[in-house]
């Protein structure tokens, strides 16, 4: 575009100049050449006429000598004259001088190239003497002059041609000079206009692209200065306005950001507090569980067996509440990533029934499961968690003697898992409310035995995370149905055969690395109770030292993070490198995704604290098998 | 074209036959009429017209005047037996007149005033203009050859040699060259075969190159470059014609044909100057007249 503009400007300026220069040169040349030619012609004609006049008497007198002298005389003093001849009225040559081509004398014959042939008639001059004295009749018109011969003059055009060539060369040079000068001027003009125009275009384009600081910058004065100043002033105005706007926007944005940060900060602080608090609660809870379990196995428990059972029940409730709190905090922390798989709903429902049946029976309620052959696609653990909560919730709101039904049905390519209860039902206005945290209907006194009120909130969060619709329909006084809708799975993959846990004695030395003496003690007692042999180490160094002994442990049970900040995974790898095969079971209060990923990548099993005693035993049995 | 004078006498009609409508004829006719009317006692009935308008059947006039050779020829041809009235010819060269009438007077019934000058007058002019002249040359043709004897007479009387060269088949120039080589002055003679509008320039140029003056026989020659010429104007001849016509009208016979009595001399002063001469036309004319009276 720049080139095109420059080219156009150049052409617009150069073309007239070139045209004028060339035309003027051509016109002047042409006229000058015509004049030269006319002059030569005129000279030739004059010479011929003069010669013809002079030759008249010579022809009259018939003096060839005189004629030759005349012809030769005509030749002298004119370089262009090649030849001259005098012929009589029958074209008989009377006299000739110089180089002359007789063939060109014939009338109508074409003159040889480069020659100008001029023929002039010689007529006898008429003297009016034929009056009556002379024998005439007086007033008779005089007879026309008699043709007595011709004079032929040949003029060489060589000089004319040479002069013409010279003139042409000069003309071309002058035209070229004119064009060059014109071109120089044109370039100057084109630059004078094109440069500011291009600069303006560029600046306008940049301003158009949002670069409000762009200005037309010209080093030299140009005819478009006022336009340039105008555009610069306009750009400045626009820039100022835009700058003001931007400032206001950024101020507003900063304010918003600050508020958002404050809010986020508050939420994060809350989540952190919750996570930290629940994490800190886990450690004693873990120990408490271990101790109660140990107590139940001891002989002391036999006398106050019911007391032990109550303690165990309370501990379990505590653990559940803690789990619920932890779940909420994890879900709010956004660290949970669903792992989607296809699974059999029958297995899930059976598991739920097995898991929840004791609780229902304990409360004198019936828990029924309608068998199903459907499969669904989702995160199985999350679904189980949801169902646990829904079933727990149903049991809580059902009076003793009531019943809870667990069933599945298809709905438009999806599967609905429904939990029916025969409770009091939920009023219309409360149906959305119940999914909020700490909302408990019919529990204004906040009886802890009825839970924290976090169950449905967890369900809602999990369902949202999985993208599954969740809802409730209810009739007050008749009962409620909570449902969750899952995508139905197509091809049912082969069901995994559940590992059968054997209630066998543990075999093999177990190295427990635990700096908390309370937990370490509990571990030792529980595992010992299962027939396992335990060696305790408080730190990495102790563990390494212990392993140098006679018997190499078969299993390492340790926290992800050891005393002094050492990594449990690193220790396990170290021991494996030093002493060969070693089973590893990690426990951690760190419930973050990162911790789980780290353990999985290392290929080690990870149990989260507080570890349910049954799960611990199953894990140990599985690893030591 | 019929003029009737106030003095009208029975049978005094005069025909004036003009050779042409040209100015010289009318000039001569006018001079004739003026002179006749001035002196005649009787009325003259003029019939002045181109000769072709006259018929033999027309009533015969008292007398007729033919102005120009063609008019004379035309008038004579009307009457194979000869006109039954006196005829006076004006502006006719002597040679032409003689050829038509063999020089006879026909008993006073036919006469003429010649156009050309008597040889003596011409020779005398040459003597006046060029006093030291010894040889006079003349180019002659078939016609002008007849004038040679008269000229020879006139020159020999004055002790001057007259040379003449006949223009033959070889052309004019050789004869002219020959003549110019021998003569002091060249005398032009009226003969269209030699002197005509085509040849005069060449002859004058050739003569001039030899520094030989040419004496012409008419004002046109003087104008063309001749040194001088003696001639009679139509008016002079017409006037003399009037005098002769008066004789006829008064019952007398016509005198024999004669040279014109009045004449003029013309000089080309430029040519004269180039020949180192100072000539005056009036003085020359006067000298010639005196010379003729003195003879």
A125 in contact with B at a CB cutoff of 8 Å?
Answer: yes
Top mean-pLDDT range of A502-506, A547-551, A608-612, B181-185: B181-185
CA distances from A195 to A188, A207, A214, A223, A267 (A): 10, 18, 16, 11, 60
Q: Bridge partners of A473?
A: A481
- Whether residues B218 and A133 touch (CB distance < 8 A) is answered with yes
CB contact under 8 A, A127 and B220: yes
In this complex, do B197 and A138 lie within 8 Å of one another by their Cβ atoms? no
Residue in A57, A62, A129 nearest the CB of B220: A129
> What percent of chain A is predicted at pLDDT more than 70?
91
> Could you give the angle at which helices A2-61 and A158-208 cross, rounded to 10 degrees?
170
Q: Are B202 and A61 within 8 A, CB to CB?
A: yes
> H/E element holding A46?
helix A2-61
**Residue A7 clears pLDDT 90, i.e. is over it:** no
Asked if pLDDT for residue A327 goes beyond 80, the answer is no
Q: What is the pLDDT of residue A146?
A: 81
* Region of residue B108 (phi > 0: left; psi between -120 and 50: alpha; otherwise: beta): left
Residues contacting A428, CB < 8 A, separation 6+: none
Per-residue pLDDT of A518-550, as tens digits, reads 788 888 888 887 878 888 888 888 888 888 877
Angle, helices B94-101 vs B69-78, to 10°: value is 10
Strand residues in A308-389 grouped as ranges (E): 341-344, 366-369, 375-378
Buried b (16+ CB within 10 A) or exposed e, A65-74: ebbbebbeeb
The mean pLDDT of A28-48, rounded to a whole number, is 88
Tokens at residue A469, please? 């619709």
Cβ of A138 within 8 Å of Cβ of B68? The answer is yes
The candidate with the shortest Cα–Cα distance to B90, out of B110, B53, B115, is B115
Residue A431 pLDDT > 80: no
| Lowest-confidence region among A298-312, A473-487, A571-585, B212-226 | A298-312
* pLDDT of B3 over the 70 cut: no
A6-20, A144-158, B10-24 — most confident range: A144-158
The pairing of strands A414-421 and A479-487 is antiparallel
Cβ atoms within 10 Å, residue A361: 11
Whether residue B118 has pLDDT greater than 90: yes
Among candidates A480, A261, A127, A458, which has minimal Cα distance to B202?
A: A127
pLDDT score at A444: 59
Q: Are strands B214-216 and A605-608 parallel, antiparallel or unpaired?
A: unpaired
Over pLDDT 90: what percentage of chain B? Answer: 37
Q: What is the pLDDT of residue A1?
A: 62
Instruction: Tell me if the pTM is above 0.90.
Output: no
b/e burial code for range A296-312 (CB count within 10 A of at least 16 → b): beeeebeeeeeebeebb
Q: What is the mean pLDDT of residues A337-355?
A: 84
What digits encode the pLDDT tens for the residues B126-184?
Answer: 999 999 899 999 999 888 888 899 999 999 988 999 999 888 877 888 888 889 889 99
Q: Distance from A91 to chain B by nearest Cα, in Å? A: 20
Closest CA to B13 of B85, B66, B113: B85
Pairwise CA distance, residues A125 & A515, whole Å: 157
Q: Which residue of A64, A65, A135 is the best one to mutate when testing the B interface, meaning the one whose CB has the most B CBs within 10 A?
A: A135
Q: Is A377 strand, coil or helix?
A: strand
Q: According to the model, what pLDDT value does residue A420 have?
A: 92
Residues of B within 8 A of A128 (CB-CB) are 197, 220, 223-224
Q: Which residues contact A421 (CB under 8 A, 6 or more apart)?
A: A394, A395, A397, A398, A402, A403, A404, A405, A479, A480, A481
Mean pLDDT of chain A: 81
pLDDT at A581 over 60: yes
Count of CA atoms in the C-beta half-sphere (13 A) of A227? 13
pLDDT at B184: 92
CA A406 to CA A390: how far, in whole Å? 10
- Within 10 angstroms of residue A266's Cβ, the number of other Cβ atoms is 10
Q: Cα–Cα distance between A340 and A342 in angstroms, integer? A: 7
Query: For residue B127, what pLDDT is reported?
Result: 92
Q: Strand, helix or coil at B89? A: strand
**Chain B: nearest CA to A129, how far in angstroms?**
5
A contacts of B197 (beta carbons < 8 Å):
126-130, 142-143
What chain B residue is nearest to A131 in terms of C-alpha separation?
B220
pLDDT of amino acid B124: 92
Q: Rounded to whole angstroms, what are the CA distances from A613 to A129, B32, B195?
A: 171, 188, 174
């Amino acid at each position: 575009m720049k080139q095109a503009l420059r080219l156009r400007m150049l052409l617009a300026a150069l073309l007239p100049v070139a045209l004028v220069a060339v035309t003027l040169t051509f016109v002047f040349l042409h006229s000058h050449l015509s004049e030269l030619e006319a002059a030569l012609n005129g000279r030739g004609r004059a010479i011929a006429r003069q010669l013809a006049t002079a030759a008249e008497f010579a022809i009259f007198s018939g003096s060839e000598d005189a004629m030759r002298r005349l012809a030769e005389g005509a030749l002298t003093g004119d370089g262009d004259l090649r030849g001259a001849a005098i012929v009589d009225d029958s074209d008989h040559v009377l006299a000739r001088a110089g180089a002359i081509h007789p063939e060109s004398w014939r009338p109508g014959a074409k003159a040889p190239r480069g020659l100008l042939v001029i023929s002039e008639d010689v007529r006898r001059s008429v003297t009016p003497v034929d009056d009556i004295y002379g024998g005439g009749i007086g007033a008779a018109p005089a007879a026309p002059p008699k043709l007595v011969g011709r004079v032929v003059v040949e003029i060489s055009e060589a000089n004319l041609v040479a002069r013409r060539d010279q003139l042409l060369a000069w003309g071309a040079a002058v035209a070229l000079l004119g064009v060059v000068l014109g071109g120089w001027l044109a370039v100057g003009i084109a630059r004078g206009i094109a440069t500011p125009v291009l600069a303006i275009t560029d600046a306008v384009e940049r301003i158009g692209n949002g670069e409000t600081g762009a200005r037309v910058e010209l080093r030299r004065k140009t005819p478009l200065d006022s336009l340039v100043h105008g555009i610069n002033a306009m750009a400045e105005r626009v820039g100022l306005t835009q700058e003001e706007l931007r400032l206001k926007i950024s101020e507003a944005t900063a304010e918003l950001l600050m508020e958002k940060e404050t809010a986020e900060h508050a939420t994060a602080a809350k989540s952190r507090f919750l996570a930290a608090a629940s994490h800190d609660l886990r450690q004693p809870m873990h120990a408490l569980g271990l101790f109660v379990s140990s107590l139940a196995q001891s002989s002391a428990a036999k006398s106050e067996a019911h007391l032990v059972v109550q303690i165990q029940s309370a501990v379990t409730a505590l653990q559940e509440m803690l789990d619920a709190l932890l779940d909420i905090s994890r879900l709010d922390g956004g660290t949970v990533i669903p792992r989607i798989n296809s699974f059999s709903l029958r297995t899930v429902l059976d598991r739920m029934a097995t898991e929840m049946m004791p609780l229902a029976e304990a409360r004198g309620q019936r828990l029924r499961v309608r068998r199903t052959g459907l499969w669904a696609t989702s995160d199985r653990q999350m679904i189980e968690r949801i169902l646990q909560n829904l079933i727990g919730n149903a049991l809580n709101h059902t009076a003793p003697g009531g019943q809870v039904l667990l069933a599945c049905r298809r709905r438009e390519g999806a599967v609905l898992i429904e939990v029916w209860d025969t409770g009091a039902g939920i009023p219309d206005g409360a149906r959305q409310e119940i999914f909020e945290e700490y909302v408990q209907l019919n529990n204004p006194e906040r009886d802890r035995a009825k839970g924290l009120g976090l169950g449905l909130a967890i369900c809602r969060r999990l369902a949202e995370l999985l993208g599954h619709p969740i809802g409730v329909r209810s009739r007050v006084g008749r009962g409620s149905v909570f449902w969750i809708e899952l995508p139905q799975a197509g091809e049912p993959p082969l069901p995994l055969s559940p590992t059968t846990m054997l209630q066998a004695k543990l075999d093999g030395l177990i190295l427990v690395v635990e700096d908390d003496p309370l937990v370490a003690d509990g571990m030792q007692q529980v595992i010992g109770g299962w027939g396992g042999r335990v060696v305790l180490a408080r730190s990495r160094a102790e563990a390494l030292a212990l392993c140098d002994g006679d018997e190499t442990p078969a299993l390492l049970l340790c926290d992800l993070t050891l005393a002094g900040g050492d990594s449990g995974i690193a220790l396990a790898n170290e021991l494996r490198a030093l002493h060969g095969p070693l089973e590893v079971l990690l426990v951690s209060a760190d419930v973050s995704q990162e911790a789980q990923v780290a353990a999985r990548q290392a290929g080690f099993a990870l149990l989260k604290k507080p570890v349910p005693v049954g799960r611990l035993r199953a894990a140990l049995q599985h690893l030591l098998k | 074209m019929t003029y009737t004078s106030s003095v009208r006498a029975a049978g005094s009609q005069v025909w004036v036959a003009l050779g042409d409508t040209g100015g010289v004829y009318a000039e001569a006719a006018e001079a004739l009429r003026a002179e006749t009317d001035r002196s005649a006692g009787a009325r003259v009935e003029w019939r002045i017209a181109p000769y072709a308008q006259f018929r033999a059947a027309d009533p015969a006039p008292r007398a007729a005047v033919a102005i120009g050779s063609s008019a004379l020829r035309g008038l004579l041809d009307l009457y194979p037996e000869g006109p039954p009235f006196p005829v006076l010819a004006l502006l006719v060269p002597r040679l032409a007149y003689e050829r038509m009438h063999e020089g006879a007077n026909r008993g006073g019934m036919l006469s003429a005033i010649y156009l050309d000058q008597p040889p003596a007058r011409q020779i005398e002019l040459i003597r006046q203009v060029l006093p030291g002249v010894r040889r006079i040359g003349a180019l002659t043709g078939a016609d002008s050859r007849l004038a040679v004897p008269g000229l020879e007479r006139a020159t020999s009387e004055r002790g001057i040699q007259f040379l003449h060269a006949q223009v033959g088949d070889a052309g004019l120039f050789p004869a002219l060259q020959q003549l110019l080589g021998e003569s002091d002055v060249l005398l032009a003679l009226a003969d269209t075969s030699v002197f005509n509008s085509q040849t005069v320039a060449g002859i004058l140029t050739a003569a001039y190159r030899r520094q030989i003056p040419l004496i012409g026989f008419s004002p046109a020659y003087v104008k063309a470059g001749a040194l001088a010429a003696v001639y009679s104007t139509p008016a002079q001849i017409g006037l003399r014609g009037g005098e002769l016509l008066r004789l006829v009208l008064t019952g007398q016979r016509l005198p024999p044909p004669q040279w014109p009595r009045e004449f003029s001399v013309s000089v080309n002063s430029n040519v004269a100057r180039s020949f180192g001469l100072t000539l005056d036309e009036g003085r020359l004319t006067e000298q010639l007249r005196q010379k003729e009276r003195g003879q």
